[in-house]
Structure 1
């Protein structure tokens, strides 16, 4: 066992199940351990490293901003914060933005805003949905394993069956402040929402007066081959959360709202000490700029199609689904497959006993997809 793993076991809270790898550095789509062995990274910091490890363009922009100004608090205006909000308005089609440090913070803000804007308390979420682990975000996260030890949570929350219009119609009512949806359920194993299901959510919004929150923490910033998964569904939510890939792994997130929602909130309703600090905003601006300059939305679509077509031809693969470079694969033994792939220097994430998630950097190249598919083909041989 590595000295570092042994030392970690003595000082770090043991919340995580980790791979037995001590990562030393990264380059592009590859990670290198303390002994110099390299692995093709199809996890990307759980969909965070959008433009590749060690990206010099992003790193130089962060370094330049760090030398000028890292933090002053939201008592003052800063140029990177304004520039980032303007850029997000351009690519999201939403109107107002508040910056956070993570996805779960973005969800917490979204829930507060929904209650404030509607004057209602209830939320509707969905089976197998995941929105974070802080108390509000956890309250709309479905899995009992995550929820039960920390009850009572924020309520009321009704869980409808994902992709079931009938279950949705039973759960939503005139007491509902918001329906919160992952357009593609990530932690569950990459399961997209049906188009008719999404359409019905918006019809019910118009009938019952609740708000629609899209949790795009994992699906945002090109992951699905579009800037956001909402673009695939041609739907604009009232509130949208984002984080993960926003800063190429730098801790930054945001919640976006329509102008109509914004008119119903007041100064002092929410806040953050570190949210939207100049360093985080510059990291996000550089990441977005790199995605644009290198046409990574198109690359995500092309490489995703190549990946999915290759996986569909394998005998042990039961199902392949997703958009762009957000791919779910169902197999008989997900853990066994992930262990096999790690032995072949390919890293994937088993999200359940049967499901594997593939979420590499958007910079992945054809030869790297081929390398991964070769490792998949060797499974069971």
Structure 2
């Protein structure tokens, strides 16, 4: 009998060690990990520089609370703010907490309540973040949601222009809808949203929980599109596996998040912050991101070359090291068979296979993963027919 709530549909793999792109289970089987802990281990499992930073901080102190000045927080906030070309940072423990804080900040700063989000989005499972999420399956059984959220079709500019007005506090969106199936926002769509937000005095919130910290080959995914948000939220890849999230915002928002307005007992924990600093110092290097760009293009092109022509594959979408393979058959048996062949990948949206390898993955490992995918999808395509 398990004493855990059955909130997760767990796989039949129990890891005991992990390093780089390889996870080893209790039976000694090695798996090529193209999940990265759901986009968390961007530098692979247990990167040496991050591990050393964690060990060093463990030898200093683990927790003192946010009543104290902490230079390590200032150092991490500076790295985040400069990478995002913004000014102020609040540290939380997760992506959902970061989004909750962003929602509170936007409402307080504008004095308005209405927030526009989009269908297929995912912003978290706490109550406000769940209400912001544009997926009904996430909300089933939890009663009435917060009424201030309006969900619109993604990339539908006409629907957006018909909805935004002077009482809108914010527009909240993902550049790439990760959980929703790797759907990428269009250039015109994003620029029109940015322009409309300025016109109506609404704040533009970009949820970079899954796309941030180099996942799309830039520090943040919105930087591919030449827009400048008011608020950015990050988490997953920020701490290389240690729990940390953050809200990054413009300087003018500082007056609305003064002392007592928001807080977190564990937010900005020094051990997690040490991991975040070491992670950012690696990821935000120009040479590193150039390599991610090259490998991301390579992975997408290789997937298109080997998989796009298969009968059961509808479409392949990707940006940087995020690739979605949309299928026209049930993907769950495929995911199981891939694990049997020692390849770990993720589901997303409706029947989308999601690839989120560590940013440090080698081209040889990409080739191996695509070969396993091709072989397995072909087998299941025949079975489905």
**What TM-score range do you get, normalising by the shorter chain?**
over 0.9
Q: 1:322 to 1:250 in 2, by over 3 A?
A: same
Q: Are 1:340 and 2:333 matched, yes or no?
A: no
In structure 2, the residue matched to 1:366 is 363
In structure 1, the residue matched to 2:383 is none
- What is the TM-score of this pair, normalised by structure 1? 0.95
Task: Point out where structure 2 has 5 or more consecutive residues left out of the alignment.
Answer: 380-385
Once residues 21 and 27 of structure 1 are traced to their aligned partners in structure 2, the CA distance between those partners, rounded to angstroms, is: 16
Once residues 366 and 144 of structure 1 are traced to their aligned partners in structure 2, the CA distance between those partners, rounded to angstroms, is: 38
In structure 2, the residue matched to 1:146 is 138
CA contact (8 A) 2:175 2:221 kept: yes
Other structure's SS at 2:16 match: strand
Once residues 51 and 283 of structure 1 are traced to their aligned partners in structure 2, the CA distance between those partners, rounded to angstroms, is: 11
Other structure's SS at 2:53 match: helix
Once residues 146 and 259 of structure 2 are traced to their aligned partners in structure 1, the CA distance between those partners, rounded to angstroms, is: 23
CA contact (8 A) 1:159 1:171 kept: no
In structure 2, the residue matched to 1:4 is none
What does the per-residue CA deviation read over 1:92-132, in whole Å, with 9 as the maximum and x for residues that have no partner?
Answer: 10100000000000000000000110000111110001000
Instruction: Name which of structure 1's ranges 343-352 and 128-137 shifts more when overlaid on structure 2.
Output: 343-352
Counterpart pick for 1:53 among 45, 63, 67: 45
Q: 1:29 to 1:202 in 2, by over 3 A?
A: same
Other structure's SS at 1:138 match: helix
Instruction: Name which of structure 1's ranges 109-118 and 256-265 shifts more when overlaid on structure 2.
Output: 256-265
- The alignment's C-alpha RMSD in Å is 1.4
Give 1:224 deviation, angstroms.
0.1
In structure 1, the residue matched to 2:208 is 216
Once residues 156 and 293 of structure 1 are traced to their aligned partners in structure 2, the CA distance between those partners, rounded to angstroms, is: 40
Counterpart pick for 1:252 among 215, 219, 244: 244
Aligned ranges 1:289-308 → 2 under 5 Å: 289-292=281-284, 295-308=287-300
Give 1:292 deviation, angstroms.
4.1
Once residues 318 and 143 of structure 2 are traced to their aligned partners in structure 1, the CA distance between those partners, rounded to angstroms, is: 33
Once residues 114 and 186 of structure 1 are traced to their aligned partners in structure 2, the CA distance between those partners, rounded to angstroms, is: 23
Other structure's SS at 1:263 match: helix
Q: 1:295 to 1:340 in 2, by over 3 A?
A: farther
Other structure's SS at 2:214 match: coil
Counterpart pick for 2:109 among 95, 117, 123: 117
Counterpart pick for 2:352 among 331, 351, 355: 355
Task: Point out where structure 1 has 5 or more consecutive residues left out of the alignment.
Answer: 1-8
In structure 2, the residue matched to 1:92 is 84
In structure 2, the residue matched to 1:376 is 373
Give 1:22 deviation, angstroms.
0.6
- What is the TM-score of this pair, normalised by structure 2? 0.94
CA contact (8 A) 1:180 1:215 kept: yes
Count of residue pairs the alignment pairs up: 373
